[in-house]
Amino acid sequence: MSKIAVLNEFSIEAVRDALQKLDDFKKLIVNGLTAFELNELEKIDPTLFDAVAKQIEKERWYPSVGLWVSDDKDMSEEKLIRNILYSVTYFKEKFQKEYRVFQGAKIYNDAFTQVIYNAGFDACVLDSETETYWLDSAAYTRTLVYSDLEKVDVNDIDDDFIKANDFESVEDEVMAVYQRDLDLKSVKQPVYSGEATEAEKLLEKAERICVQQGRKENEDIQNCWISLFLGEEDTAADVAEKIIGDSVIDEDFIKFNFDEVKILSVKYAEDGSDDVVIRIKETAGKEKALTVMCDALDAGFRAEILPYELQTFRIIKDGFVEETPIGE
Partner 1 sequence: MKPYILKPHLTRKITFMKKDDPRVPQALFETVNTAPDLAGFPYPLPSKKSDYTCFAEGANGVIWYGATTGLTRYDAKAERAEDVIMYFSAHRHLDNNNIDAILPEGDNVWVLNGDSVSYIEMIMLTCEERGDLLREETHKYVMRRGMVCHMNTTEPKKIETALGYTSCDNDGTFTAGHFVGEVFRYAVLKRELGADHPKTIEARKAATLNCEAILLLAYVHGREEGFIARSYHVTGEPLPDDGHFYQRKGDVAICCETSESKKTGRVGEEVPCTHPIPDRLAKLYRDLGYTEDDIAYKADTSSDEVTCHYMHMRLAHDILGPDDPELDEIIKDVCRRTTTHIINGNFEFLEHSGKPTTWAKWSKRYFATAGSGYVDAPLNASEMLMYLKVTMHVTGESGLWQETYDKLIADGYADLSVKHFDRFFQGAIGVGASPEEDLMYGDNFLALLTFWMLCTLEKDEELLATYRRAYKTWSGTLLREMNAGYAFPMLAGCPDIELDFERLADWFYRHEITRHAALLNLERHDVPIKRLRHGADVQKEISVLLMPDERSNEKYDRNPFQLLEYDTSRNSHYEGCYPYTFAYWMGRYYGFIAEEA
Burial (CB < 10 A; 0-12, 13-18, 19+), residue 134, is middle
Q: Residue 129 or residue 136: which is nearer to partner 1 going by CB? A: 136
Torsion sign across C-alpha atoms 281, 282, 287, 292: negative
Applying CB under 8 A, among 120, 187, 258, 262 the residue interacting with partner 1 is 120
Stretch that binds partner 1, among 151-159, 204-212, 214-222, 287-295 (CB under 8 A): 287-295
Please, what is the minimum distance in Å from the beta carbon of residue 213 to partner 1?
Answer: 20
At 288, is the secondary structure helix, strand, or coil?
strand
Q: How far apart are CA 136 and CA 110, in angstroms?
A: 9
Q: Residue 25 or residue 258: which is nearer to partner 1 going by CB? A: 258
Q: Residue 230 or residue 316: which is nearer to partner 1 going by CB? A: 316
Q: Residue 44 or residue 289: which is nearer to partner 1 going by CB? A: 289
Applying CB under 8 A, among 17, 122, 172, 241 the residue interacting with partner 1 is 122
Does residue 293 interact with partner 1 by CB under 8 A?
Answer: yes
First CA to last CA across the chain, in angstroms?
38
Binding mask 58-97 for partner 1 (x = CB under 8 A): ----------------------------------------
Closest CA to 296 of 234, 233, 254, 235: 254
Closest CA to 111 of 262, 321, 303, 271: 262
Applying CB under 8 A, among 36, 62, 112, 117 the residue interacting with partner 1 is 117
Q: Residue 164 or residue 182: which is nearer to partner 1 going by CB? A: 182
Q: How far apart are CA 115 and CA 117, in angstroms?
A: 5
Give the Å distances, CA to CA, from 132 to 11, 20, 98, 162, 184. 31, 33, 23, 27, 7
Q: Is 41 in contact with 15 (CB distance < 8 Å)?
A: yes
At 60, is the secondary structure helix, strand, or coil?
coil
Stretch that binds partner 1, among 30-38, 82-90, 148-156, 294-302 (CB under 8 A): 294-302
Binding mask 237-276 for partner 1 (x = CB under 8 A): ----------------------------------------
Closest CA to 279 of 77, 125, 36, 58: 77
Q: What is the largest CA-CA distance in the chain?
A: 68
Does residue 106 interact with partner 1 by CB under 8 A?
Answer: no
Which residues, 302 to 321, sit near partner 1 by CB under 8 A? Answer: 302-304, 313, 318-321
Torsion sign across C-alpha atoms 177, 118, 78, 76: negative
At 43, is the secondary structure helix, strand, or coil?
helix
Q: Residue 200 or residue 282: which is nearer to partner 1 going by CB? A: 282
Size of the site for partner 1 (CB under 8 A): 38
Which residues, 127 to 146, sit near partner 1 by CB under 8 A? Answer: 134, 140, 142, 144
Q: Residue 229 or residue 308: which is nearer to partner 1 going by CB? A: 308
Which residues, 164 to 203, sit near partner 1 by CB under 8 A? Answer: 178-179, 181-184, 186
Does residue 291 interact with partner 1 by CB under 8 A?
Answer: yes
The set of residues, in sequence order, having a beta carbon less than 8 Å from that of 203 and lying 6+ positions away, is 221, 224, 225, 228, 236, 237, 240
- Footprint of partner 1 (CB under 8 A): 117-118, 120, 122-123, 134, 140, 142, 144, 178-179, 181-184, 186, 287, 289, 291-293, 295, 298, 300-304, 313, 318-326
